[in-house]
Amino acid sequence: MPINYGLLADIPDLQIPSAAFKPYVLHQSIVYISGQLPITGGKPGWIGRVPDQVSTDQAKEAAELCMRNVLSCLKHACGGDFGKVERCIRLGGFVYADRDFTDAPGIINVASQMATAAFGDQGEHCRIAIGVASLPLGCPVEIEATFAIRA
């Protein structure tokens, strides 16, 4: 399946924050993307634990926004040319979860589905999806990724 440029057309340009780390590192042909939160307009779109403070549906929306932010980093690393993407290698997904919540994979599936919808077979990847005791800014979801690209 070819790259779905329609899905990727509205990925925003990366706004590089001033921080003690970089939003991504390109080493040789591998792009390592730092954990991306569901930030829009400089603020978290959701705050709280899943599912008692943030519903699973809201957490899935947060995962989609996290993945859009991942793709924004990837776009920057590729100089705006998603045609350079060879493969999504790995996604890591973290859900700020209640102690008894066991469906972190169901939340992170949204990001995995976006990768394969955008890049077809090249979007298939290995993954981790875990529930955690907290995330930065109290966000319910964080997604990190590793991609291979052509120079």
For 53, the 3-state DSSP assignment is coil
Specify the pTM.
0.95
Q: Which CATH architecture has domain 33-138?
A: 2-Layer Sandwich (3.30)
Q: What is the mean pLDDT of each run of 10 residues along the chain (151 residues)?
A: 86 82 95 96 95 98 98 97 97 97 98 97 98 97 98 81
DSSP-assigned states of every residue in 89-111: EEEEEEEEB-TT---HHHHHHHH
Q: How far separated are the first and last CA of the chain, in Å rounded?
A: 22
Please state the domain extents for the chain: 33-138
Burial of 135 (0-12, 13-18, 19+ CB in 10 A): buried
